[in-house]
Amino acid sequence: MASKRANATASTRLRQDYMRIKKDPVPYIIGAEPLPSNILEWHYVIKGPENSLYEGGYYHGKLVFPKDFPFKPPKIMMMTPNGRFKTHTRLCLSISDFHPDTWNPAWSVSTILTGLLSFMLEKAPTLGSIETTDYQKKQFALNSLEYNLKDKTFTELFPDICKEIKELLDNQRDQNDPNEGTANNGEFLLPNDLNSENDNFVNGSTFANICVFVGFAVFALVVNYVIKAVTSEDEL
């Protein structure tokens, strides 16, 4: 019975949080929806803030609440590759289940998502965070649009956001080359792939420079031979 009471309490509280976040949305949190079949699992969408490394990106993640919420904190995960956090991995934050000792039952879903966004914009390491370059984070932001459209849960929970993303992609294709900002024909570009692409570029440039150098050397030898031949004829 205790478990059922706790589950009912969690459901009631999460419904209240849902109404609150719909009435008063959190900046840059453009989506927050529980699964229709399980109110304890929420999915969220963060839109990368302007003038940040995540600008233009759409980041999908999920919150998994315990049955005794709000007395215990949720698991927090990011699903969309982003360059800041590992995907499909529990994040160690003061508002997550890694730190029940710092959890405050008064914190709502809005509080959790606000804290997550704040930590995403920082560079402090934690369990579940990763190190990537600024360039890689911008590439992740570009690729996040098409990546999310391949996620079934994302498309089912956030049809309006999917429509928005498709319109953005159409505008990008009209203005730029269809493959610009993506790699491997639209496949997601991971950090190792980025390094490989850069290495290939450097290797290709080096090879081209060697070819130019050899060409100049051959040209110089030919010119020198012609000058010597002309000089020999004049002496004769």
User: Residue type at 115?
Assistant: G
Pairwise CA distance, residues 80 & 184, whole Å = 18
| Catalytic site includes residue 92 | yes
Residue pair 84/130 in contact (Cβ under 8 Å)? The answer is yes
Please tell me which residue in 30, 39, 92, 183 is annotated as part of the active site.
92
Pairwise CA distance, residues 47 & 148, whole Å = 12
Q: Give the residue numbers annotated as catalytic, written as ranges.
A: 92
